[in-house]
């Protein structure tokens, strides 16, 4: 793409060769292969500010190269617009008479530059400004100072503050990052993270020791940092970044589960499915014995259910008959001995500590149980209930906070940031716990506010720490103190009046149930007696009227009534 020129004359491309530029082109190709290979850098920008025939001849020879694709511009503002970002290559043709505006706070430009400057008779002020770094800092630039017969390749190392010259016939690009010469690596961490997430400091210390440098923690609001860490669930668009170690997410703080009442120890030994299966077995045995039993078939279904329950509590209450009935009752008694023994042992073990209701962990449980303040950023995105302010006193209030790595690091961050973050303050004061579910989980990113060449040093160490496993080993061997919420054991927890009242309620309920069942048995007995008496009188009425022929029939009827009673 070729843009139109400004007030100056536009340059002409692909002119017939008039000068011998083969030695310059050969040196440029070798320098590009080492410093900015086309297979790695796909964006190649060409900016032409020199209309001299020799400059246009050099540019024409370079543009004849097939790849990568060239984007050509010639306006003054295009230099900052197209070459400020990283991961780009830029070919700039200067006339040597340009001047850069001084800047009290010069910025780093992130592209890799090939800057062609003619070899003027007088010293080039533009080249001196580039080397001084008072206007802009081009720490990735190579200057090709040329004339009709010679070429001088210069590179300024801002760490050692020296300008080196490369041999055009034997080009070897130096590694400026091998020796930082005491350069301070400026790092920014979120407030409260300095004593918790210390791996970044350890990483900077490792780089500083191996590359002859030092590091410095700078305030988070400064723009001159080499790189910074942000515990944020999404990426910052428009910022240079690399994939770091660890991950970042939004933690959810939920209320801790409340202790269960003491009566729960009678239910907790078996789950719901076991209780259901046990009662289904009792009803099925009662139905089978009612239909096919020899003795129990004389009783109804309700009486047999009570009998099966009494076998569990105290053993059989009557004598059974028949092989089938005895075998079922014997096997059932053996099974109940095992079940009751395990039930009793589980109750004894459960009495040693306080039982708690299930914790809130899943996103669905958070939706049902939690209420978030209006200041929660991601509540509406995940369809969470929002109501009240952040200092609401309701017990089901939950909070969110940007965090990283794992739940242990999150707990440490809450302790450090409780005076800086309102959500952390509420979570710390209410002794909330970190839910297992996290929101907006992403890989951790290192952001580079400055376009310094230091950005190219971090990926090497990040990959080295990841592949060697030193990142996980670092935090595994690191010990921190964090005030943990400890559950009280049962022997320390004192009985309250409510606990004793529950026991009396159980006792009173048992007495009432026993009395009601006794009255029911008495009523059922008298009803059965009246029914049998009516049946006996009906049989007496239906017998022959000539009783003198059968003198013993009357006595037999009286005996039947007495036996019924």
Structural contact between residues 250 and 403, judged by C-beta atoms closer than 8 angstroms: yes
- The sheet that has 151-157: what strands, in order across it? 70-73, 44-48, 89-93, 112-118, 141-146, 151-157, 162-166
Least confident of 113-127, 365-379, 504-518: 504-518
The pLDDT assigned to 196 comes to: 78
Two structure tokens written together for 121 = 């008779």
Residue 483 has pLDDT above 70, yes or no: no
Residue with tokens 């020879």: 61
Q: 476 to each of 204, 409, 472, how far by Cα in Å?
A: 19, 12, 6
Distance between CA atoms of 164 and 173, rounded to whole angstroms?
A: 10
For residue 44, name the pLDDT band (cuts at 50, 70, 90): confident
Query: Could you tell me where the beta strands, DSSP code E, fall in 87-148?
Result: 89-93, 107-108, 112-118, 136-137, 141-146
For residue 550, name the pLDDT band (cuts at 50, 70, 90): very low
Two structure tokens written together for 219 = 């305030």
The pLDDT assigned to 115 comes to: 92
Side-chain-side CA neighbours of 562 within 13 Å: the count stands at 6
Distance between CA atoms of 187 and 449, rounded to whole angstroms?
A: 10
Residue 274 has pLDDT above 50, yes or no: yes
Question: Would you mind telling me the total number of residues written for the chain in this entry?
Answer: 565
Distance between CA atoms of 252 and 377, rounded to whole angstroms?
A: 12
The pLDDT assigned to 546 comes to: 52
More confident residue, 92 or 311: 92
The pLDDT assigned to 199 comes to: 82
Structural contact between residues 550 and 544, judged by C-beta atoms closer than 8 angstroms: yes
Q: Which of 60, 65, 122, 67 is nearest to 93 (CA)?
A: 60
For residue 8, name the pLDDT band (cuts at 50, 70, 90): very low
Side-chain-side CA neighbours of 185 within 13 Å: the count stands at 30
Q: 485 to each of 7, 255, 481, 495, 519, how far by Cα in Å?
A: 73, 12, 13, 21, 52
Q: C-alpha dihedral over 390, 392, 396, 399, to 10 degrees?
A: 10
Residue 143 has pLDDT above 90, yes or no: yes
Distance between CA atoms of 168 and 60, rounded to whole angstroms?
A: 20
For residue 313, name the pLDDT band (cuts at 50, 70, 90): confident
Average pLDDT of the chain, as a whole number: 79
For residue 17, name the pLDDT band (cuts at 50, 70, 90): low
More confident residue, 499 or 250: 250
pLDDT > 70: percent of the chain: 84
Backbone φ and ψ for 445, nearest 5 degrees, come out as: -125, 145
Q: Which of 484, 376, 393 is nearest to 433 (CA)?
A: 484
Residue 113's SS3 state is: strand
For residue 136, name the pLDDT band (cuts at 50, 70, 90): confident
| Sequence-distant (≥ 6) Cβ neighbours of residue 293 within 8 angstroms | 304, 320, 322, 324, 325
Structural contact between residues 162 and 25, judged by C-beta atoms closer than 8 angstroms: no
Structural contact between residues 137 and 109, judged by C-beta atoms closer than 8 angstroms: yes
Structural contact between residues 77 and 102, judged by C-beta atoms closer than 8 angstroms: no
Q: 265 to each of 293, 348, 350, 362, how far by Cα in Å?
A: 36, 9, 6, 26
Structural contact between residues 157 and 129, judged by C-beta atoms closer than 8 angstroms: no
Backbone φ and ψ for 433, nearest 5 degrees, come out as: -110, 160
Q: What is the mean pLDDT of residues 9-14?
A: 46
More confident residue, 7 or 330: 330
Residue 220 has pLDDT above 50, yes or no: yes
Structural contact between residues 92 and 45, judged by C-beta atoms closer than 8 angstroms: no
User: Where are the domains positioned within the chain?
Assistant: 21-166, 262-352
- pLDDT (tens digit per residue) in 205-217: 888 899 988 888 8
Fold of 21-166: Rossmann fold (3.40.50)
Distance between CA atoms of 330 and 342, rounded to whole angstroms?
A: 19
Structural contact between residues 216 and 61, judged by C-beta atoms closer than 8 angstroms: no
Q: What is the mean pLDDT of residues 24-48?
A: 88
- pLDDT (tens digit per residue) in 365-414: 888 888 888 888 888 888 888 888 888 888 888 888 888 888 888 888 88
Q: What is the mean pLDDT of residues 294-306?
A: 82
| Sequence-distant (≥ 6) Cβ neighbours of residue 518 within 8 angstroms | none
Distance between CA atoms of 86 and 74, rounded to whole angstroms?
A: 20
For residue 16, name the pLDDT band (cuts at 50, 70, 90): low
Two structure tokens written together for 367 = 């939706």
């Amino acid at each position: 793409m070729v843009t139109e020129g400004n007030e100056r004359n536009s340059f002409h491309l692909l002119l017939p060769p008039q000068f011998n530029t083969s030695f310059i082109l050969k040196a440029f190709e070798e320098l590009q292969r080492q410093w900015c290979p086309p297979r790695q850098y796909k964006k190649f920008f060409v900016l032409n500010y020199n209309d001299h025939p020799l400059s246009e001849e050099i540019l024409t020879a370079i543009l004849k190269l097939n790849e990568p694709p060239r984007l050509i511009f010639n306006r003054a503002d295009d230099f900052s617009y197209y070459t400020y970002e990283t991961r780009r290559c830029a070919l700039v043709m200067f006339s040597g008479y340009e001047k850069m505006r001084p800047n009290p706070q010069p910025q780093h430009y992130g592209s890799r530059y090939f800057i062609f400057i003619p070899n003027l008779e007088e010293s080039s002020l533009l080249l001196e400004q580039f080397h001084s770094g008072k206007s802009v800092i081009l720490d990735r630039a190579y200057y090709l100072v040329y004339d009709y017969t010679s070429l001088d390749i210069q590179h300024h190392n801002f760490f050692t503050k020296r300008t080196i010259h490369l041999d055009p016939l034997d080009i070897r690009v130096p590694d400026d990052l091998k020796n930082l010469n005491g350069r301070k690596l400026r790092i920014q961490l979120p407030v409260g993270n300095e004593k918790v997430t210390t791996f970044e400091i350890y990483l900077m210390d490792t780089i500083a020791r191996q590359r002859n440098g030092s590091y410095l923690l700078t305030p988070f609001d400064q723009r001159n940092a080499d790189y910074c860490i942000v515990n944020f669930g999404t990426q910052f668009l428009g910022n240079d970044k690399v994939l770091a170690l660890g991950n970042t997410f939004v933690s959810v703080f939920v209320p801790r589960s409340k202790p269960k009442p003491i009566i729960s120890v009678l239910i907790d030994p078996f789950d719901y499915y076991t209780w259901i299966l046990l009662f289904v077995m009792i009803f099925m045995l009662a139905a089978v014995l009612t239909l096919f039993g020899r003795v129990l078939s004389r009783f109804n279904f309700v009486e047999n259910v009570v009998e099966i329950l009494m076998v569990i509590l105290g053993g059989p209450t009557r004598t059974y008959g028949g092989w089938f009935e005895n075998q079922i009752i014997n096997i059932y008694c053996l099974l109940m001995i095992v079940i009751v023994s395990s039930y009793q042992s589980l109750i004894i073990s459960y009495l040693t500590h306080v039982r708690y209701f299930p914790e809130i962990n899943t996103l669905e449980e958070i939706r049902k149980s939690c209420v978030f303040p209006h200041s929660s950023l991601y509540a509406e995105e995940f369809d969470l209930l929002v109501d009240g302010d952040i200092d609401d006193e309701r017990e089901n209030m939950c909070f969110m906070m940007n965090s990283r790595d794992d739940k242990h690091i999150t707990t440490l961050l809450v302790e450090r940031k409780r005076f800086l973050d309102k959500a952390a303050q509420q979570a710390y004061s209410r002794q909330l716990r970190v839910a297992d579910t996290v929101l907006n989980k992403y890989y951790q990113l290192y952001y580079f506010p400055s376009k310094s060449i230091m950005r190219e040093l971090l990926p090497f160490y990040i990959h080295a720490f990841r592949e060697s496993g030193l990142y996980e080993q670092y935090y595994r061997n690191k010990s921190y103190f964090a005030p943990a919420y400890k559950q009280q054991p049962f022997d320390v927890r004192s009985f309250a009046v409510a606990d004793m009242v529950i026991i009396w309620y159980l006792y009173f309920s048992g007495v009432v149930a026993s009395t009601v069942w006794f009255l029911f048995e008495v009523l059922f007995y008298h009803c059965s007696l009246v029914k049998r008496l009516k049946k006996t009188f009906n049989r007496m009425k239906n017998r022959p009227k000539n009783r003198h022929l059968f003198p013993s029939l009357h006595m037999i009827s009286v005996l039947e009534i007495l036996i019924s009673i």
